[in-house]
Amino acid sequence: MGRTNATFRDLLRAIEDRWSDYRRGLRRADQAVFDRLFEYARAHADAGGLQNHQYVEIPALISMILEQQKQIDDLEDRLDHLEQDLNDAE
């Protein structure tokens, strides 16, 4: 017997398919960024599946935001270290 409910990963794939015309209209560099956003969402597919939200787009967007915030935090930390190194060198 097959599954009757689509998995979160299946639903993400369906969203990505629905946005394929939009993606195709983007510049090549922006297409890579677009693809990366969906990679972020897939990275948190287990959590998204547990959320079982009525609209799969919501946990997908939260996953994308979460990954971007992690990158911002990392960049801020690296900047703080560089500033500290520059101040120590003076």
Residue 2 lies in a domain: no
Domain containing residue 73: 8-89
What is the pTM assigned to this prediction?
Answer: 0.84
- Helix extents (H) in 1-90: 8-18, 20-25, 28-43, 45-51, 57-89
| Total domains present in the chain | 1
Torsional class of 52: left (φ above 0), alpha (ψ -120 to 50), beta (otherwise): left
Residue 14 lies in a domain: yes
d(CA 2, CA 8): 16
Residue 47 lies in a domain: yes
Model confidence at 2, pLDDT cuts 50, 70, 90, reads low
Model confidence at 27, pLDDT cuts 50, 70, 90, reads very high
Residue 70 lies in a domain: yes
Q: Which of 35, 21, 31 is nearest to 64 (CA)?
A: 35
Residue 79 lies in a domain: yes
Evaluate whether 57 touches 41 at the Cβ level (below 8 Å). Answer: no
Q: In the predicted model, is pLDDT for residue 47 greater than 60? A: yes
